[in-house]
Amino acid sequence: MSKKSHLLVRPGKSKGEYHKVTPETANWNYLSFGARLMSKDEKWTHRTGDNEMVIVLLAGNFKVDSDKGSWETVNGRKDVFSGVAHTLYLPKGSTFTLTATSEVLDIAYGWCLAEEDHPAKFVAPEEAPVVIFGGDNATRQFNDLVPPGFGCSKIVVREVYTPSGNWSSFPAHKHDERIVDSQGNVLEPIQEETYFYKFQKPEAYAIQQVYTLDRSLDEIVRPHHNDVVLIPKGFHPVVAEHGFHCYYLNFLAGTDQCLANTTDPNHEWIYGSWKTKDERLPLVTAKMNKQQPNNG
């Protein structure tokens, strides 16, 4: 079933840019996503144009020289299970060169059209808010890399750790219809979203359902390491395979820079049912980054 789904995107290359999702390839309107493997001293030069862009360090170290400033990581994690991400936000109209300073560099990045100008911002691991959310076997960890109110136009970025056997993005929620209350508060935006998966072992996987209440969309996919799942609309819960912790990186873009959403009405009662928190969390902390050797 997974191989035939239009929602599941497999990595395309073993080196270089191994993912590139655009509005044209995803058949949507706002969000683009990419991932890239680089060797030491390899350079990537790019212009953001009319887009804002967020670069997330998955593994290794890099330096960036741009017309908006220069930044360098020295305590990059060796993989996503060994610390918290470094994050770089670049506004529209930026030109930059990113250089790998470790033997292997793995990065992911998302971009979307920006309506306003905002300053560039570099977020170190210890500056990223960490939230333990949910309860019982639906407990998971959020690292809010670009949360609501960050100071950008439309993009939101979060990395999520789901312990072995737990449910995530649950109770199931959606963000595909813009709903505003009488005070102008956004109760639900229209947002497209990518789930970019990583696992500690290549045989591991998660199971993700994407569905609408009328079941005009109702698919179940099985993402493995480095797979991307596209969320154009609908509810999208995840469960991690027993025995393997699951990581996914979310990029969102759409009408509003927020994380408002609507819960599946059949799941609302679950919020009041949790009695415990999973004691395995947090799975990663910023302190773990400092224990990593400089891979340069």
**Tens-digit pLDDT string for the chain (296 aa):** 345 799 999 999 778 999 999 999 999 999 999 999 999 999 999 999 999 999 999 999 999 999 999 999 999 999 999 999 999 999 999 999 999 999 999 999 999 999 999 999 999 999 999 999 999 999 999 999 999 999 999 999 999 999 999 999 999 999 999 999 999 999 999 999 999 999 999 999 999 999 999 999 999 999 999 999 999 999 999 999 999 999 999 999 999 999 999 999 999 999 999 999 999 999 999 999 987 655 55
- Sorted by where each starts, the structural domains of the chain and their CATH numbers stand as 2-288 (2.60.120.10)
Residue whose tokens read 């609309």: 233
Residue whose tokens read 């591991």: 204
Quote the CA–CA distance of 146 and 155 in Å, as a whole number: 8
Specify the pLDDT at position 2: 40
**Please, which residues bridge with residue 199 across strands?**
246
Quote the CA–CA distance of 99 and 61 in Å, as a whole number: 9
SS3 for 289? helix
Amino acid letter, 7? L
